[in-house]
A and B are shown apart, each in its own frame.
Chain A
Amino acid sequence: MSQEQASRPLEAMNTVGRNVPRIDAYERVTGKATYTRDVRLPGMLYARILRSPHPHARIRSIDISRAEALPGVRSVVTHETHQLIYSSGSVAGGRQYNDAAKDITTHLRYMFDNPVRYVGQPVAAVAAVDRHVAEEALQLIDIDYEELPFVIDAERALEPGAALVWPEGNLALDYQNQARPMVRRVGDVSAGLQAADRVFEDRYTTAFVQDGQMEPRSALAEWHGDKVTIHTPTQGISNCRHDNARDLGLEDHQVQIVCKYMGGGFGDKNGSYYFDLIAATLAKEADAPVLLELTRKDDWLGTHGRWHTIQDFKVGVKQDGTVTAIQMHGYSGMGPYLRRSGGISGIEVYACPNTERIIYPVHTNRMVSGNFRAPSDPQGFFAMQSMMDDIAYKLGIDPVDFAKQNMLRPTEDVRFTNYTMEECIERGAQLFDWQGRRRPEPGSDPGPVKRGAGMSFMMFRSGVGPSSAILRVDSEQRYTLFVGVTDIGPGAKTTMALIAAEELGVPLSQVEVVWGDTDRCPYSVGESGSRTTTQTGYAVVQAAIDLKEQIAESGMPTGDEVLIASATPTPSTQGRRRMCFGAHLVEVETDVRLGYVRISKYVAVHESGRILNPLPARDQIRGAALQGIGQALHEDLLYDARNGHPLTAGYYGARHLTHMDAPEIEVTFIETDDGFGPYGAKTVGEAGIILGPAAVANAIFNAIGHRMRDLPITRAKILEALS
């Protein structure tokens, strides 16, 4: 299809495109779904981790003798007993990210490190006959710490004289082990700024946000000779196996990763983590299965969340509203170890010919930052599209018109598999009644409750790529699908089954799915990057086509015969960009006496290709939009700058959304089939979280006439702006 061809409603297929209840919904509503901590093994021990109470300290000595002497304790491990490097090094560990980089990185992440570099870093672990004994043993470990200077602020960490998180400096090392910022330049930003009629400058900041999935991390390890089975909630069993094997000095086949049900992930459960290694180590030492449970506080401080950012903009604009230059210099606070990139997106959705983006991923003595649903995006889109919204009002242009004037569009050089950006914005504006709800003069409502409207738009990668699937049919026409997926919430298992049923032309009830176990399933890309449906789903289509051809050739199997098909496709879009598109439009009511913000209308329009299962797809967008609202208005991890301690670790302190905070999200999908992915399906899971912070912030500006530049936009900040 041509890039800008208008989309038509797609008709439902046999199975695809209809509301299909999850094939495991019964297990989910009866308590029968087996999450990692629900697995019980005979003779299983319980383990707990002791964590650093200091933001930066050297361990002079660690004495475990009293803990070891406690009856019921089976094993105690520390940095003195075991030195394992987890996720195989420091630069974005995880097979899908870059194996080669892990061989050269020098900022190694040890299971237990010395010095410790953040409050909450593991220093020891205990396995005991029950969790109470393990917890008591932690209290009996005596550690002599030498406290070291620490730094909490990402910008200050790069100033001369700042406390050093690493001896060679606080700028993170990149994939080539070089300390340098991430730089992306297009055109000539200086020339673009000179050509502008007006240049706008501003600083925006965003806070750290914990993924906060409901199921805290845990790992249950059991050795069988030189093989280890690790039950662990991971968004990607194949990558988790590879990394754990490498870290333990084993071959892939010596590690089995099992993850059946998982209580949410949002990027917190990407790949492997140190607790997998701790559980495996304790199990080896104690010669018994070990269940390592992270407490909620362990999970809050000892995993990761979205990196906090500082973003400085310079944007040049012609008087007619044409953007001539965008410059952004940013800092991403990564904590002491680089678990992911620290990227900040948002510029690339504009057609501006002159852009410069320089990002400094900075080490601090805060907890580690890493992936959270669309890792680089909500914070970047908030800042960029707040900036653009501000400019539009200063030029007297409707922000929707300003967006349409400046957004990236298909050209001969920029080719898309399809393009529906304008359609998403226009549909959203119509459903929302943008003209009716927007205040042409921001802050013009008489109050005390003032209304206003804001919008934001996005294009987000929805690539294609390799994954695998195996399909088997027996003489009773039972189809068994083997896919290495886990189900973090979107319903991957159901999606894979309905794709198979569709392609095979059989009822869904005839397809059984084997999933979440590396000993039984082929490689799958993992539940990160919203790729399971597009990549593993496409492999399922190809395996089903293979199986149909075999059946056509040799007939259905009879007696004890089976037919088996497999596929490991490596599709390509041949240089075209495959994107999903979306626009969010929000109305808020702001009580200027209290600073209170209520979302009174929220419209989310998305084009994510063909929607395979409308109900869970809708709820991916609704849930993600609500998480975006949480980032906009609530969530933060505050640190006490005097002692380097986190103050708001937990749902209550970080103010994650409750039922009472959740407005209704109205979701509309524009459906297309661009010929890629399974039946044209694109990315859904991450797309919905990107736009909330920008749209909410822009609506608050429209309501009160004050630009809120720092997330989260708390009541206190609003009252301060109004005073």
Chain B
Amino acid sequence: MDRKKPEKEPRELPESHEPQEGAHLSRRDFLEGAGAALVVAGGAPKLGVAESRTAVVAPQEAEAVPRTRIRLTVNGTEHRLDVEDRWTLNELLRDHIELTGSKIGCNRGECGACTVLLDGEPIYSCSTLAVWADGRAVQTVEGLEQDGELTPLQQAFIDHDAAQCGFCTPGQLMTATAMLNQNSSPTAGEVREALVGNLCRCSNYNAIVEAVLASTGSGGAP
């Protein structure tokens, strides 16, 4: 590829980074704590098969960042890990527990593609820090299917073609799952109200509502 400049001179990374006077104050500068390796321990899963996993982390050549040890259950598997204080729950799930089902559509609480359940409540995992999930139970879209059985809601999404591009689908499924846990026979209006925080730019809204209703046995044929 064409380059305007000749080869840059090799450079060495300084050993430490001193925040400069007047420089942007980052979460890194603000928070304090000690770095530690990330460990994912197989806990005592309530569901499924016990597993012990070590998550992949980025090389720790960057400056140590404050971390906090937390314990949380994800899809029935207990994890004990040291998380960076600045990680969102979504980063923890997608980048460090390898559950990439929840999506980042906006990373600022507008679209709902990152929705997961925290103790059964739908939350935006992009706007929730990982440390806030300490001691709590997280369910993601990967945790819906049990023993190879899709939930009626997932099956209805397939039958009613509720996923076009599929990017918002994990969030729609999680919010709808939480709603159905509270209200097993919602009206179309109640479904729309519950899902208002989950955008679908394919605008497949009609089919999503039909699928949710069909999963309860009250919907019509596709």
Please pick, from B3, B20, B56, B157, the residue contacting A81 in the complex, using a CB distance under 8 A: B3
Give the distance in Å from the alpha carbon of A660 to the alpha carbon of B199 in the complex: 10
Interface residues of A in 269-288 (CB under 8 A from B): 280-281, 284-285
Number of B positions contacting A (CB below 8 A):
81
Are B196 and A19 in contact, CB atoms less than 8 angstroms apart? no
Which among B32-40, B42-50, B130-138, B163-171 touches the partner chain?
A: B163-171
Q: A31-B170, A81-B4, A133-B62 are in contact. Are A656 and B100 (CB under 8 A)?
A: no
Which B residues touch A662, using CB under 8 A?
Answer: 192, 203, 205-206
A424 CB contacts on chain B under 8 angstroms: none
Nearest CB in chain A: distance from B29 CB, A: 9
- The interface residues of chain B lying within 8 Å CB-to-CB of A28 are 157, 163, 166, 169
Say whether A445 faces chain B, with CB atoms less than 8 Å apart.
no
A616 to B205 CA separation, bound complex (whole angstroms): 13
- Min Cβ gap B87→A in Å is 9
Contact A68 B203 (CB under 8 A): no
Bound Cα distance from A129 to B56, whole angstroms: 13
User: Which residues of A have CB within 8 Å of B4?
Assistant: 80-83
Instruction: Give the interface segment out of A210-218, A344-352, A669-677.
Output: A210-218
Q: Indicate if A38 sits at the interface (CB-CB under 8 A).
A: yes
Does A139 contact B26, Cβ atoms closer than 8 Å? yes
A650 in contact (CB, < 8 A): yes
Whether A658 contacts B222 by the Cβ 8 Å rule is no
Question: How far is B100's CA from A37's CA once the two chains are assembled, in angstroms?
Answer: 8
Given contacts A28-B163, A132-B28, A488-B165, contact A69 B203 (CB under 8 A): no
**A490 contacts partner chain B, Cβ-Cβ < 8 Å:** yes
Does A539 touch B at the CB level, under 8 Å?
A: no
Pairwise interchain contact B222-A659, C-beta atoms closer than 8 A: no
Residues 642-659 of chain A: 1 if any B CB is under 8 Å from the residue's CB, otherwise 0? 000000001110001111
Q: How far is the CA of A665 from the CA of B23 in the complex (A)?
A: 53
Are B13 and A619 neighbours in the complex by a CB distance under 8 Å?
no
Q: Which residues on the A side are within 8 Å of B110 (C-beta)?
A: 296, 650-652
Residues B23 and A139 in contact, CB atoms below 8 Å apart = yes
- Contact, CB under 8 Å: A214 / B196: no
Is A383 positioned at the interface, with any CB of B under 8 Å from its CB?
Answer: no
Give the nearest-CB partner of B26 in chain A.
A136
B191's closest neighbor in chain A, by CB? A659
Is A29 at the interface (CB under 8 A from chain B)?
A: yes
Let me know if B165 and A264 touch, CB within 8 A: yes
Q: How far is the CB of A6 from chain B (nearest CB, A)?
A: 28
Who on chain A is nearest to B16 by CB? A71
A33 to B105, CA, bound (A): 15
Nearest CB of B to A265, in Å:
8
A508 at the interface (CB under 8 A from B): no
Complex formed: what's the CA distance from A30 to B193 in Å?
A: 24
Residues of B within 8 A of A248 (CB): 1
- The distance in angstroms between the C-alpha atoms of A627 and B65, with both chains bound, is 44
Q: A82-B4, A619-B161 are in contact. Are A263 and B106 (CB under 8 A)?
A: no
User: From residue A22, how far is it (CB to closest CB) to chain B in Å?
Assistant: 7
| Docked-complex contact B150 and A30, CB < 8 angstroms | yes
- Any chain A CB within 8 A of the CB of B144? yes
Query: A44-82 interface mask toward B, CB cutoff 8 Å, 1 = contact, 0 = none?
Result: 000000000000000000000010111111000000111
In chain B, positions 110-169 with a C-beta closer than 8 Å to chain A are: 110-111, 113, 140-142, 144-145, 150, 154, 157-161, 163-169
- Known: A296-B105, A651-B110, A660-B196. Is A623-B203 also a contact (CB below 8 A)? yes
Q: Which residues from B are CB-within-8-Å of A615?
A: 160-161, 222
- The answer to whether B206 touches A660 (Cβ under 8 A) is no
Other-chain residue from B24, B154, B195, B203 in contact with A627 (beta carbon distance below 8 A): B203
Does B21 interact with chain A (Cβ within 8 Å)? no
Set A31, A34, A69, A660: member contacting B142, Cβ < 8 A = A31
Residues of A close to B62: CB separation below 8 A: 71-72, 128-130, 133
**Closest-CB distance, A284 to chain B (whole angstroms):** 7
In whole angstroms, what is the CA distance A73 to B160 when docked?
Answer: 47
Q: Does B79 contact A (CB under 8 A)?
A: no
B199 contacts A651, C-beta separation under 8 Å: yes
**Are A665 and B206 within 8 A (Cβ)?**
yes
**Inter-chain contacts of B69 with A (CB < 8 A):** none
Chain A residues proximal to chain B, CB less than 8 Å: 19, 21-22, 25-35, 37-38, 40, 43, 66, 68-73, 80-84, 128-130, 132-133, 136, 139-140, 211-216, 248-250, 261-266, 280-281, 284-285, 295-296, 487-491, 615-616, 619, 622-624, 626-627, 630, 650-652, 656-660, 662, 664-665
Give me 26 A-to-B residue pairs in the complex whose CB atoms sit less than 8 angstroms apart, sorted by A's number.
Answer: A21-B158, A21-B161, A28-B169, A29-B150, A29-B157, A29-B169, A31-B140, A31-B170, A33-B166, A37-B103, A68-B11, A129-B59, A129-B62, A139-B26, A214-B202, A215-B165, A261-B166, A263-B167, A265-B165, A280-B1, A488-B165, A489-B164, A490-B164, A658-B197, A659-B193, A659-B209
Q: Knowing that A211-B201, A491-B164 are A-B contacts, what are 11 other residue pairs whose CB atoms are under 8 Å apart, sorted by A's residue number?
A: A31-B102, A35-B103, A66-B20, A80-B5, A215-B167, A249-B1, A264-B164, A622-B206, A623-B204, A627-B201, A658-B196
Binding site for A on B (CB under 8 A): 1-5, 8, 11, 13-14, 16-17, 20, 23-24, 26-28, 56, 58-59, 61-63, 65, 84, 86, 94, 98-108, 110-111, 113, 140-142, 144-145, 150, 154, 157-161, 163-170, 173, 191-193, 195-209, 222
10 smallest beta-carbon distances between A and B, as pairs: A31-B101, A263-B167, A72-B62, A626-B203, A662-B205, A489-B165, A28-B166, A489-B164, A31-B141, A38-B100
